[in-house]
Amino acid sequence: MEFWQAIARTEVDQLVPVARLAEELGFAGVTMSDHIVRPRSIASRYPYSVTGEMATDETTPYLDPLVLIGALSRATTRLRFMPYVYIPALRDPFSVAKAIATAAIVSGDRVMMGVGVGWMAEEFELVERPFARRGARTEELLEVVKKLLSDAMVEHHGEFYDFPPVQMAPAPRCCPPILFGGHSPVALRRAAASEGWLGVNYDVETVLPIMQTLHRLRTEAALDSQPFDAAIALNTPPEGDDLSRLEEAGVTIIVHPPVLRPSGEMSSFDEKRDRLEAYADRYIRSSRS
């Protein structure tokens, strides 16, 4: 099992120091979030909070995750990177493929793609992308992306995208693994057919039946022998035999949440260093002993 650090809601001038610290302490990777803009008024319900409201506000920094990966990869040597989560349907497939290819090449294939279908209708409207049927569009968009990253002349004739033979160069050695977020039946079906599943704000007892469902779906599709990652950000730090139970269920990545103050405000670098060191001592170093 790997331990990753979330760097969402991290001050821009702390991103490189926090990434370097995470690598030094033995974290396997860092995750970052994705929003293009934040409207002043949001009627859409945020699915990962009891209130339905985002914990962030208009001052929260959201850098483009794939551009950020390129920058952080030049400041580290081993650390891996994953948007958590990237919303492909806010973009066109050619821009998505080019950004993923660039990040993968620049980082030396240290990219994993955590993706979702999106929840904020207002953001889709602002970039003039349809919110309706965004799930099906995301599936086809990622099919196109995989074709474009194949280093071959490809064409596509689908419901949402249609184009004659083209070739994108350069291409990475391979398409980064794609992990789907969400826990609805259709979201789990998408995840089971991909290279992984990811979730945020879950309890251990909620994760275990989800992992059972994913295993069943992959077995039914004859995919259970293929590599599959499951990344989880838990509501509370794991205790007792939580980690062994999660690992036995198939969870491969535990994501440590952003280091914030109790009030929810962003923290200083010294506060982040203390918390990351304590977490590494408790989980990462103990797992290696």
Measure the CA–CA gap between 121 and 44, rounded to whole angstroms. Answer: 6
At residue 188, what is the residue type? L
Domain ranges of the chain: 2-288
Question: What does the DSSP assignment read for 74-97?
Answer: HT-SS-EEEESSB-GGGS-HHHHH
Contact by Cβ (8 Å): 228, 196: yes
Q: Where in the chain does DSSP place strands (E)? A: 2-6, 29-32, 80-83, 113-115, 154-157, 162-166, 178-181, 196-202, 229-234, 253-256
Give the strands of the sheet with 29-32, arranged side by side: 80-83, 29-32, 2-6, 253-256, 229-234, 196-202, 178-181, 113-115
Contact by Cβ (8 Å): 42, 54: yes
Residue 263 is predicted with a pLDDT of 72
Residue 289 is predicted with a pLDDT of 55
Residue 40 is predicted with a pLDDT of 87
Q: Output the CA torsion 150→156→127→99 (10° steps).
A: 10
Measure the CA–CA gap between 96 and 94, rounded to whole angstroms. Answer: 5
Contact by Cβ (8 Å): 81, 18: no
Residue 261 is predicted with a pLDDT of 79
Measure the CA–CA gap between 238 and 1, rounded to whole angstroms. Answer: 13
Q: Domain 2-288 adopts which CATH fold?
A: TIM Barrel (3.20.20)
Tens digit of pLDDT at every position of the chain (289 positions): 999 999 999 999 999 999 999 999 999 999 999 999 888 889 999 887 888 888 787 888 899 999 999 999 999 999 999 999 999 999 999 999 999 999 999 999 999 999 999 999 999 999 999 999 999 999 999 999 999 999 999 999 999 999 999 999 999 999 999 999 999 999 999 999 999 999 988 999 999 999 999 999 999 999 999 999 999 999 999 999 999 999 999 999 999 999 987 777 888 999 999 999 999 999 998 766 5
What are the φ and ψ backbone dihedral angles of 6, each rounded to 5 degrees?
Answer: -80, 130
Residue 49 is predicted with a pLDDT of 80
